[in-house]
């Protein structure tokens, strides 16, 4: 390989420890967040993922208030806050005239405002930026262990719950009528969503973590239809965008988390135009079907 090409693409990832650690963290996030994002997409819950990403903020902020930038405290607080918002919005939807999307929006707006208030009043601007946009280039051993552990737990849980999750995406009423696994699949998936958002929060920040879920899944859906291919392609796109974003942030000196999410956004926009089910090819097929009628 040409020396200049090596220094441009490979050198930063092999010569610097912080780049290697960021690469491992992004690999773990890609393996866990992208498959969860596929099920979010199929269940029409993409905006729910965005709401939950904001909902973990006050718990993480309270953990920060108690113990500073402590990984265990912020992780525990984020998981508790996310689960409380998920369960609370469901209970409100079942007990009042409000639908679940309205109650979830109300909870997440309150959570976001409370979390930003706690961090901004009791910490510095640097702390607030750390919470909102993450520090993927400063991952330590504890954060890497959390990301890798989350990826392992997520993949094992998805393997165990694969069939009921697929059935719930296709026909939740049928699953409830023939199996007792419906609540296990539903609440188990919400737990996976929360722990992945909390893990992504430590690397990419609250405002960017959900991008690792939604954008790869949406881009992959424009190319393939089968679920296994969808999960594999989404994971591949997430990893490719992570590597590209890391290299861009190194060479151009951009913030890393936004650079990664913008690379995911570029992949989505390209898929939207060029994908098999995108505007160009999909639109051409629709026009042909219309003329045939």
Which residues are within 8 A (CB) of 44 and not within 5 positions of it... i.e. 6 or more apart?
Answer: none
The whole-number pLDDT of residue 238 equals 95
The whole-number pLDDT of residue 110 equals 82
What average pLDDT does range 256-284 have in this prediction? 85
Q: How confident is the model at residue 103 (pLDDT cuts 50, 70, 90)?
A: confident
Would the pLDDT of 97 be above 70?
no
The pTM for the full model equals 0.83
pLDDT digits (tens, 9 = 90+) for 114-154: 877 877 776 665 566 666 667 777 788 888 999 999 999 99
pLDDT, greater one: 279 or 30: 30
pLDDT, greater one: 77 or 105: 77
> What are the structural domain ranges in the chain?
3-210
Class level of CATH domain 3-210:
mainly alpha
Would the pLDDT of 286 be above 80?
no
């Amino acid at each position: 390989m040409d020396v200049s090409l090596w220094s441009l693409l490979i050198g930063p990832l092999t010569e610097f420890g912080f780049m290697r650690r960021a690469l491992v963290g992004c690999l773990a996030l890609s393996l866990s967040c992208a498959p969860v994002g596929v099920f979010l997409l199929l269940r029409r819950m993409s905006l729910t993922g965005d709401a939950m990403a904001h909902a973990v903020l006050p718990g993480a902020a309270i953990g920060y208030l108690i113990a500073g930038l402590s990984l265990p405290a912020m992780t525990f607080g984020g998981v508790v806050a996310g689960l409380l918002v998920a369960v609370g919005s469901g209970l409100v939807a079942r007990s009042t005239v409000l639908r679940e999307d309205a109650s979830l929006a109300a909870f997440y707006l309150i959570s976001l405002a409370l979390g930003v208030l706690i961090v901004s009043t009791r910490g510095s601007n640097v702390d607030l930026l750390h919470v909102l946009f993450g520090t993927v280039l400063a991952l330590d051993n504890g954060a890497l262990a959390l990301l890798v552990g989350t990826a392992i737990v997520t993949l094992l849980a998805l393997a165990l719950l694969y069939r009921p999750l697929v059935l719930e995406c296709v026909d939740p009423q049928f699953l409830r009528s023939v199996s007792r696994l419906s609540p296990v699949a539903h609440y188990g998936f919400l737990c996976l969503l929360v722990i992945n958002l909390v893990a992504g929060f430590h690397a990419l920040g609250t405002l960017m973590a959900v991008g690792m879920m939604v954008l790869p899944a949406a881009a992959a859906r424009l190319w393939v239809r089968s679920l296994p291919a969808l999960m594999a392609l989404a994971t591949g796109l997430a990893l490719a965008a992570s590597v590209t974003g890391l290299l861009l942030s190194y060479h151009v000196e951009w913030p890393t988390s936004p650079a990664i999410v913008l690379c995911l956004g570029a992949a989505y926009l390209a898929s939207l135009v060029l994908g098999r089910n995108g505007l160009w090819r999909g639109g051409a097929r629709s026009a042909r079907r219309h003329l045939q009628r």
